Amino acid sequence: MPITLLNNTIQLEINEPGENYRGSRFDWTGQITQILYKNKHTFCTNETTRPEELNILGRGLYNEFGIDAPVDYPDCPLGGKFHKIGVGLLTRKTGEPYDFFTSYEVAPAEFTIQKMQDTVSFEVNAKPERGYCYKLLKTITLSESSFIIRYELTNTGEQSITTNEYVHNFLAINHKPIDANYQLKFPFVLNPQTFGAVVNSKQEVYFDGNSMRWNKLATETYYFSHVNPPDMKTGSWILENQLDKIEIRESGNFNLLRINVWGTVHVVSPEIFYPIDLLPGASCNWERKYEIIEL
């Protein structure tokens, strides 16, 4: 059964580790599959519209460690096991670079859950492998019109851990397709000339000051990497639906690595990346705050 956090304003539906999603890409802990606000607004959707892929791909707020490469993949031998933080040990099956689209065999980590009225915490204890090991503690705390996801990652191994983390926010307000009623706002002016990768072949997405907007109903996949200025220290975004007069926003308390945006017809996903570099025995802490505001 899903875990539910509930107050007078917000209800969060959260998967237990391995309850539905058992893939090798996304962290199994704290997967928020739906946000319900005042029993009338929802914010989460699915990566796919195909029912048979619902528990294979992403949903709601799924975070991922090491989309570029897990911490110990480069020195993992063929047939050996490597860590995917928040998931477990994965088996390397080719000599090719790591590919997050690939489905790897998973030996799940050890998960512990503690739930109170407005808080749920997940602890992940990894098994040592080739000198790499870690402990992850993730806590989700509900407030009146917001919630915070807090992370603590400890390097319990003998090797350094260098990776990154982000939340793939699969969003659509009240399940409405992404169209001209939406705008995605940032605390800086958007300059496409400074972006990294750009996929926007039909020019359905355009930029207006600090806002990303759609000139009609989206019909194709779009993607923009490194949308933030290089000197940006912290990251945040606001997704607004002007027709429904509601918005959801995320802000981080950490030094920013990059901000990417991905989406397609039925979903948009702003992504704030956090850089991780831990010596053996070291820990790091960071948090993400989500707020809902009626306009």
68-95 confidence digits (pLDDT tens): 989 999 999 999 999 999 999 999 999 9
pLDDT at 69: 86
pTM (predicted TM-score): 0.96
Q: Which domain range does residue 288 map to?
A: 3-294
Q: Is the pLDDT of residue 49 over 90?
A: no
Buried b (16+ CB within 10 A) or exposed e, 135-172: bbbbbbbbeebbbbbbbbbbbbbebebebbbbbbbbbb
Domain of residue 134, CATH code: 2.70.98.10
Q: Which residue has the tokens 């007078």?
A: 8
Number of structural domains in the chain: 1
**Can you give the C-alpha Rg of the chain in angstroms?**
19
